[in-house]
Amino acid sequence: MTSRLQNKYALITGGFAGIGLETAKQFCLEGACVAITGRSEAGLERAQSYLGENLGKNAVTIQSDAADIQQQQALADKIKTQFPRLDVIYINAGDVTHKPFNEWEEADFDRVMNTNLKGPFFLIRALLPLLSDSASVILCGSVSAQIGLPQSSVYAASKAGLISLARTLSGELKHLGIRVNTLSPGPTLTEAFDKFGLPENEQEALINQVKELVPLKRLGTPLELAKAAVFLASDESSYMLGSELLIDGGVGNL
């Protein structure tokens, strides 16, 4: 076990499953104290059981909706009562809805943008007074922002917004010692695939189709993404600013 995140306090949004939950585990193993958020009761229980002995010792769970702008200040206030400061924010909660261009209703558009872009914008602002003078803010992008995948119009635009935000906030906050970077996954095997509401055989067919799009011909694992997040959260990435790290099996570049 290494301790690249010793004495660091971290918040991971959307940490009740998938990439966020595995990242919380890896952060704990590297010595950090971690707060994770999510919405559902089932997710909360699953996360608590996955974190095991870390829970209560160096991990806390908080129910909070990333899409609800009012809840972002409340979350920041709660973090203030738990941690003396924040060294890492990982904006990971994301709404992965995909639909044909003609089928997007305004409410769907708003929900995706609120979860993926507007909520994070106001959360980071609410947390600013708590950020340390060597803080790392990691925004979860997606390789979808780099390619023209059908049905991803709103989702990809929201992630492109985050990639832009990593640059502009880095420019605005660098004098405070705060670095903002994007971590962009390619297709990764998580519970996100359950959210398309497909029967089991169709979901499997979708996963096989997606694998074919990936130059490495497989999906990524939450652990591969979590290891990259550890790097970005740690001082090992101290020369990265306003940048994007693609962990995508080659989708964005080949």
Ligand X SMILES: NC(=O)c1ccc[n+]([C@@H]2O[C@H](COP(=O)([O-])OP(=O)(O)OC[C@H]3O[C@@H](n4cnc5c(N)ncnc54)[C@H](OP(=O)(O)O)[C@@H]3O)[C@@H](O)[C@H]2O)c1
192 lies in the site for ligand X, by CB under 6 A: yes
Selection from 115, 126, 252 nearest residue 183 by Cα = 252
- Identify which range of 52-60, 102-110, 180-188, 228-236 contacts ligand X by CB under 6 A: 180-188
Q: Are 19 and 222 in contact (CB under 8 A)?
A: yes
Grouping H, G, I as helix, E, B as strand and the rest as coil, residue 100 is: coil
Between helix 119-127 and helix 69-82 the angle, nearest 10°, is 30
**Residue 190 is a binding residue for ligand X (CB under 6 A):** yes
- Which one, of 85, 81, 25, lies nearest residue 57 by Cα? 25
Query: Which residues are known to be catalytic?
Result: 155
Q: Does 161 bind ligand X (CB under 6 A)?
A: no
CB of 193 to ligand X, least distance (A): 7
DSSP 55: B
* Residue 27 sits in the site that holds ligand X (CB under 6 A): no
Q: Is residue 67 within 8 Å of residue 115, measured between CB atoms?
A: yes
Helix (H, G, I), strand (E, B) or coil at 62: strand
Is 152 a binding residue for ligand X by CB under 6 A? The answer is no
By CB under 6 A, name the one of 12, 27, 87, 94 that touches ligand X. Answer: 94
Question: Which CB atom, from 41 or from 172, has the smaller least distance to ligand X?
Answer: 41
Cα–Cα separations (whole angstroms), residue 231 to 13, 66, 149, 185, 224: 18, 24, 28, 14, 11
Question: In terms of CB distance, is 15 or 161 closer to ligand X?
Answer: 15
Q: Specify the residue, 132 or 224, whose C-beta has the smaller distance to ligand X.
A: 224
Q: Which of 5, 11, 14, 122 binds ligand X (CB under 6 A)?
A: 14
Q: Which of residues 30-89 bind ligand X (CB under 6 A)?
A: 37-40, 43, 65-67
* CB crowding 137-169: b at 16 or more within 10 Å, else e: bbbbbbbbbbeebeebbbbbbbbbbbbbbbbeb
**Interface with ligand X in residues 208-247 (CB under 6 A):** none
Q: Which is nearer to ligand X, 7 or 209 (CB)?
A: 209
**Least distance to ligand X from the beta carbon of 92, Å?**
5
Structural contact between residues 34 and 27, judged by C-beta atoms closer than 8 angstroms:
yes
Instruction: Closer to ligand X by CB, 5 or 19: give it.
Output: 19
Binding interface with ligand X (CB under 6 A): 13-20, 37-40, 43, 65-67, 92-96, 115, 140, 142, 185, 187-188, 190-192
